[in-house]
Amino acid sequence: MPQIDEFRIGTFCWAELSTNDQPGAKAFYSKIFGWTPVELPIGPDQVYTMFQLEQCEVGAVCTLSYDQREHGVVPHWMLYVAVENADATTAKAKSVGARILAKPFDVFDAGRMAVLQDPSGAIFSIWQAKTSLGIRLTGVPGTLCWADLATSDQAAAEVFYRSLFGWELTPGEVHTGYLHIVNSGEFIGGIPPVNAFHGAPPHWLLYFLVAQLGPTLEQLKQGGGTVVVPATERPPVRGNKKGVRHFGRARLPCVVGRSAATAANGHEKRGTNRRLTQMYADSSDPQITFWGR
């Protein structure tokens, strides 16, 4: 198993689901991904559910607080980016146009974090590790493998994230409107063209690796998910960086769940004979994506 034993600045380091149905989400994702839930008490009648594969942390689920619900926060997946210093990164983010939704604060002795909103409105968190690195496993089914930014201003997003995290943003060789996010030489995500998400509000879309898409979709349907946009084949595409795994034959995102949102066209992804499935996974309809064969 490719375990992660060091904190890699600029990478996507955590995936956290906030929902109205924590027990239901725990059961759903445990079945879909084979995750083992580990309950951590965080307050009176409150638990934070960590998900593990092979005893390595891969994500978490928690319940939306009363205050969040009162302020209209809906169930969602939160993407975390690893930073060296949460306070310094927050100050820098503000200087380049971000809105600070939650100022830096300590999460027990695990780390320090803040919640930010980019200039177009997409929300993400930053994580300064102390005792917890975040995701400890990668490259196997059930782990985070990619993230796309849906934005109303691709050019502004490129400037913002390049300035904040030092990411390189590289146009695809075939679909040049899709910008690949490269962190320290590693392809980690992308920014599709503005029209790719058909009017959906700005957000980060998370991708999780699965071994086989067909059986996973069957499990999804049994758990209450619905396929909204079917997958389609696309021709092989090669990456444009020496030493980076080539993009291969893939399927475009296939949206599942109860939402009418549609997925991006023209994605280029790593691997061979891979397929993608975008999903609204539990009864609360938070959205992620499957990436598998």
Contact in structure between 139 and 147 (CB atoms under 8 Å): no
**Are 12-129 and 144-292 the same fold in CATH?**
yes
- For residue range 42-71, what is the model confidence (pLDDT) as tens digits? 988 899 999 999 999 999 999 999 999 998
- Give the number of C-alpha atoms closer than 13 A to the C-alpha of residue 20, restricted to the C-beta side: 12
pTM metric for this prediction: 0.85
Q: At the topology level of CATH, where does 12-129 sit?
A: 2,3-Dihydroxybiphenyl 1,2-Dioxygenase; domain 1 (3.10.180)
Q: What is the largest CA-CA distance in the chain?
A: 53
Domain residue extents for the chain: 12-129, 144-292
- For residue range 71-86, what is the model confidence (pLDDT) as tens digits? 899 899 999 999 999 9
- For residue range 92-107, what is the model confidence (pLDDT) as tens digits? 999 999 999 999 999 9
pLDDT band at residue 233 using 50, 70 and 90 as cut-offs: low
Task: Pick the more confident residue, 207 or 161.
Answer: 161
pLDDT band at residue 265 using 50, 70 and 90 as cut-offs: very low
- Give the number of C-alpha atoms closer than 13 A to the C-alpha of residue 6, restricted to the C-beta side: 3
According to the model, what pLDDT value does residue 210 have? 87
Q: Pull the structure tokens for residue 83.
A: 């930073």
Contact in structure between 271 and 250 (CB atoms under 8 Å): yes
CA distances from 239 to 173, 215, 252, 258, 271 (A): 7, 29, 17, 34, 10
| Residue where the block lists tokens 């619900």 | 69
Paired strand residues for 128: 112
Contact in structure between 188 and 181 (CB atoms under 8 Å): yes
User: Quick one: CATH architecture of 144-292?
Assistant: Roll (3.10)
pLDDT band at residue 244 using 50, 70 and 90 as cut-offs: very low
Query: Distance between CA 280 and CA 32 in Å, rounded?
Result: 13
Task: Pick the more confident residue, 175 or 92.
Answer: 92
According to the model, what pLDDT value does residue 199 have? 76
Question: Over pLDDT 90: what percentage of the chain?
Answer: 58
Contact in structure between 260 and 197 (CB atoms under 8 Å): no
